[in-house]
Amino acid sequence: MEKSKILFISQEITPYLPETEMSVVGRYLPQGIQEGGREIRTFMPRYGCVNERRNQLHEVIRLSGMNLIIDDTDHPLIIKVASIQSARMQVYFIDNEDYFQRKFQMVDDDGVAFPDNDERMIFFARGVIETVKKLRWVPDVVHCLGYMSSLVPLYLKRTFAEDPLFNNSKVVYSIYNEEHDLTLAKTFKNKVMAEGITKKDLEVVNTPDYLNICKLAINMSDGVIYGTSKIHPSLKKHVESLDKPVLTYQSEETYIKAYSEFYDKVLSESLVESY
């Protein structure tokens, strides 16, 4: 039987960023899943605070060079890669001088959200998808971890729904306890609109704040994981209102095995639905 393939799209991964609940999972989950016999690919943004020299990042010329159009402006897509030798895994980085050169992730040194976070999220989501297409690698499960990855489910389930690389892929979204006061530009809905996406899809983000963006990701996912023990009540209520598989918070000792079993559950439920 062919190995199942898991695509990890993470907002944070240590050692490239400081250790957090999310970055530690972003680092050790792919390794654990790979050691369990599955194929993996892992992506994260190349924030300006990622030390390229220390972490030995280098550009992948054959994958770079594409332009992504966001709000009628071309933005070059640059792909870099680094290896975590002890885990025998590579991490791909989505880079762009306009969006990922600054030394912070989502907010500046004063805690103020960047005004172009919406475009940065769009660029990251589309950049990952286009890169996976270039790799011609067909994921069975796409696991999105964190707010920065929250537009991936929308694009996969709408714009790329008929693409042969993704039309059978199942999407899992992990919720974390992040910056709940992050609000995107009022023009977000216009910028994110693409082929296959409807106004009804985007009703949940009439106010494009953190909670509603997460709800959009939840709506478009096939399964939801509580990545932390403290989930915002609004998000928990939204998840509970939907009929889809949910994995509650797992401890450090249990999460890799539990996540692997959850992928199988999401895949098996989709097989049942297809009959």
Over range 155-173, report the average pLDDT: 96
**What pLDDT, in 10s, does the model give residues 89-130?**
999 999 999 999 998 888 888 888 899 999 999 999 999 999
Label residue 272 by pLDDT band (50, 70, 90): very low
Give yes or no for residue 48 having a pLDDT over 70: yes
pLDDT at 3: 82
Pure H helices in 146-243: 152-157, 188-192, 210-220, 233-240
| Structural domain total, the chain | 1
Query: Residues 6 or more apart from 111 whose CB is under 8 A from it?
Result: none
d(CA 97, CA 265): 40
User: What CATH number is given to the structural domain containing 114?
Assistant: 3.40.50.2000
pLDDT at 177: 86
d(CA 26, CA 169): 20
pLDDT at 107: 86
Quote the domain boundaries for residue 119. 5-274
**What pLDDT, in 10s, does the model give residues 87-100?**
999 999 999 999 99
User: Strand 78-84 vs strand 58-59: parallel, antiparallel, or unpaired?
Assistant: antiparallel
Nearest to 222 by CA among 256, 177, 186, 271: 271
Over range 158-165, report the average pLDDT: 96
Give yes or no for residue 273 having a pLDDT over 70: no
Query: Residues 6 or more apart from 73 whose CB is under 8 A from it?
Result: none
Over range 192-212, report the average pLDDT: 95
